[in-house]
Amino acid sequence: MPVKKIPSAEVEIGMVVSSLDRPWRETPFLLQGFQVKTQRDVDHLVEQSQYVWILVADEEIEISSGPAGVSPISVSPSSVGKVRYEHTALAGPELEEARRSYKEVAGLVKDVETLVAADKELRLDQVRKSLDTMVDSVLRNPDAYIWLTRIQQFDSYTYRHALSASVWATTLGRELGLSRREIVALGTGTLLMDIGNTALPREILRKKGRLSDEEWTLVKSHVDQGVRILSKASSATVDVIDIVRTHHERLDGSGYPAGLRGKQIPFFGQIAGIVDFYAAVTIPRPYAPAIAPSAAMQILHKQRHRYFDEALVQAFIQALSTYPTGSLVELSNGAVGIVLSQNPGFRLHPNLVLLLDPDKKPYGSYPIVHLATEVEDRRGAPLHIQRTLIDGTYGLQVENLSL
């Protein structure tokens, strides 16, 4: 379901707000994708924002890949674009390879949290070594790990957010043509960027209502706590610490903790901010539903220049594609599927696993459709993606599917 931008003062009771005019994690709101039920809800929105995005019942709005000649990245290493990564493995075989190492990589966040909680030394060289298999897989074909982070069940939102952000950041590094060393650093930093949350009371992190000023100040302190933890770690690099220190900074100076602007925000910190926002709004949380990947992409696209670097946003959209792997989609004939893998050069025509037939009845098996070549359905009608869906639509929960 697409979104529409309106002034906060025009919000009416009954509307569903998908996002504010700034990342939700940088306001006292903990709810994302909530329905406005009272005048007090309206008043709070007006206090915290000038504009909001609301869900509207309309056809899917396609996100363009951006105009030619997009402005260059405000801060970037000279290595951007120096490496050109090709798909050297098909999604199917790479998925089988990725499954072998996935459990080890997924367990990294738990291991790190256990070490920090026990006040034991965090060995970043060991973290990087464990991430090597993930990075190699993403460089061969990013679809496999993106797919696994989407369909696997996680013990908590924290673990899923950390691993998903790391995979998406690695994928963006691949798209930007960074060196393998830089991509490993990027994956490591984004995996650990919220490590400071381990020092905060769990009841605040799980609170469903609006945070008090004191609670909000405490939540923001997770950045300084994370820097403190990593500064004591062996082999902590400047790049990794920069990610933890600046992933909540924004181009216009509205971020925290230092209110950095533009080029003051390091390159990796800018990337981390984008993937952190995308993960925050597309992964279901215990206290708030997720929004569709396409809606998140549209919000990012509208927030370029103000909060996020335009070229990095465009590269992120290009890296994940218009319909990211793992997205629930509805086809023009009414069938419902999930994006299995991408077709390079055909952004609007990915490969899908079909889940529901045009009458919304489950398939006996899971047929695969290749939209790049299968342009018509069995009745001869044009076949294309009509819209993306949020988790739970038609009773489908992605991580509960036996795929």
Assess if residue 184 is contained within a domain.
Answer: yes
- How far is residue 326 CA from its own chain's centroid? 12
Q: Are 334 and 358 in contact (CB under 8 A)?
A: yes
Residue 393: Cβ within 10 Å count: 16
353 lies in the same domain as 286: no
Q: Could you give the C-alpha distances from 65 to 74, 194, 268, 321, in angstroms and in order?
A: 19, 30, 22, 9
Q: Could you give the C-alpha distances from 135 to 181, 244, 249, 335, in angstroms and in order?
A: 10, 20, 26, 34
141 lies in the same domain as 179: yes
Assess if residue 104 is contained within a domain.
Answer: yes
Looking at 320, 348, 363, which one is the last position of a domain?
320
What CATH code is carried by the domain that includes residue 99?
1.10.3210.10
Q: Are 402 and 395 in contact (CB under 8 A)?
A: no
133 lies in the same domain as 225: yes
């390091």: which residue's tokens? 266
Reply yes or no: is the peptide bond before residue 382 cis, omega within 30 of 0.
no
Assess if residue 159 is contained within a domain.
Answer: yes
332 lies in the same domain as 316: no
């000279």: which residue's tokens? 78
Q: pTM to 2 decimals?
A: 0.81
Assess if residue 99 is contained within a domain.
Answer: yes
Hey, what's the torsion of the CAs at 164, 169, 175, 181, to 10 degrees?
Answer: -120
The CA distance from 337 to 330, in Å, is 6
pLDDT value of position 273: 97
357 lies in the same domain as 302: no
15 lies in the same domain as 107: no
Assess if residue 14 is contained within a domain.
Answer: yes
Assess if residue 75 is contained within a domain.
Answer: no
Take residue 80 and report the two structure tokens written for it. Answer: 């951007």
Assess if residue 156 is contained within a domain.
Answer: yes
User: Is residue 343 exposed (0-12), middle (13-18) or buried (19+ Cβ within 10 Å)?
Assistant: middle
Digit-by-digit pLDDT tens for the chain (403 residues) are 456 778 887 787 777 777 776 665 555 554 455 667 777 777 778 777 787 877 654 334 444 444 444 556 767 777 788 888 988 998 888 988 898 888 888 888 788 888 887 777 788 888 888 899 999 999 999 999 999 988 877 767 788 889 999 999 999 999 999 999 999 999 999 999 999 988 888 888 777 777 788 888 998 999 999 999 998 887 889 999 999 999 999 999 999 999 999 999 999 999 999 999 999 888 877 656 788 888 888 889 888 888 999 999 999 998 998 899 999 999 999 999 999 999 877 778 899 999 999 999 999 888 999 998 898 888 888 899 998 888 889 999 887 777 6
Q: In what order do the strands lie in the sheet with 34-35?
A: 3-7, 51-55, 16-20, 34-35
140 lies in the same domain as 182: yes
The CA distance from 30 to 48, in Å, is 13
183 lies in the same domain as 243: yes
pLDDT value of position 186: 96
Residue range(s) defining the domain that contains residue 333: 328-400
Assess if residue 268 is contained within a domain.
Answer: yes
218 lies in the same domain as 299: yes
152 lies in the same domain as 18: no
CA 178, 179, 180, 183 torsion-angle sign: negative
Looking at 320, 340, 372, which one is the last position of a domain?
320
173 lies in the same domain as 289: yes
139 lies in the same domain as 248: yes
- Total domain count, the chain: 3
